Amino acid sequence: MELLDYVYLAVIVAAALTIDLAFGEPPRIIHPTHWAGVLASWIDSRIPRGNPLIEKLSGVAVALLLPLLFASLTSLLLSLVKLFLGKVAWMLASAYLLKLSFAVKDMERHAKPVILKVAEGDIPGARLQVSRIVGRDVSSLDGPLILSAAVESTSESIVDGFCAPVFFFALAGVPGAMFYRVVNTLDSTVGYKDVFHLNVGWASARMDDALNFVPARLSLPFIALASRLLGADWRNCFRVALRDHGKTESPNGGWPMAAMAGALKVRLEKRGKHVLGAEYHFPGLKEACLSVNIMRLSCVLFYLALAPLSLIVGFTVQGYMENLAFTLISLLR
User: pLDDT tens digits, residue range 272-328?
Assistant: 899 999 999 999 999 999 999 999 999 999 999 999 999 899 999 999 999 888 888
What local confidence, expressed as pLDDT, does residue 246 receive? 96
Cβ neighbours for 115, distance < 8 A, ≥ 6 positions apart? 147, 150, 285, 288, 289, 292
Are residues 16 and 98 in contact, defined by beta-carbon separation less than 8 angstroms?
A: yes
pTM over 0.85: yes
Element (H, E) at 268: strand 268-270
DSSP H helices in the chain? 3-23, 32-46, 52-85, 87-100, 105-119, 123-131, 143-158, 164-190, 202-229, 234-244, 254-264, 285-309, 315-332
Asked if residue 61 has pLDDT above 80, the reply is yes
Q: State the amino acid at position 85 in one-letter form.
A: L
Q: Domain count of the chain?
A: 1
Residue 46, Cα to own-chain centre: how many angstroms? Answer: 28
Asked if residue 28 has pLDDT above 90, the reply is no
Interval 126-185: pLDDT, tens: 999 999 999 888 999 999 999 999 999 999 999 999 999 999 999 999 999 999 999 999
Residue 134, Cα to own-chain centre: how many angstroms? Answer: 14
What local confidence, expressed as pLDDT, does residue 213 receive? 98
Query: Which neighbouring-strand residues pair with 281?
Result: 266
What local confidence, expressed as pLDDT, does residue 1 receive? 60
Q: State the amino acid at position 246 in one-letter form.
A: G
What local confidence, expressed as pLDDT, does residue 81 receive? 94
Q: What is the mean pLDDT of the chain?
A: 93
Q: pLDDT band at residue 332, thresholds of 50, 70 and 90?
A: confident
Query: Which neighbouring-strand residues pair with 276?
Result: 268
**Which domain, by its residues, includes 211?**
3-332
Question: What share of the chain has pLDDT > 70, as a percent?
Answer: 99
Q: Round to whole Å and give the CA distance between 59 and 93.
A: 31
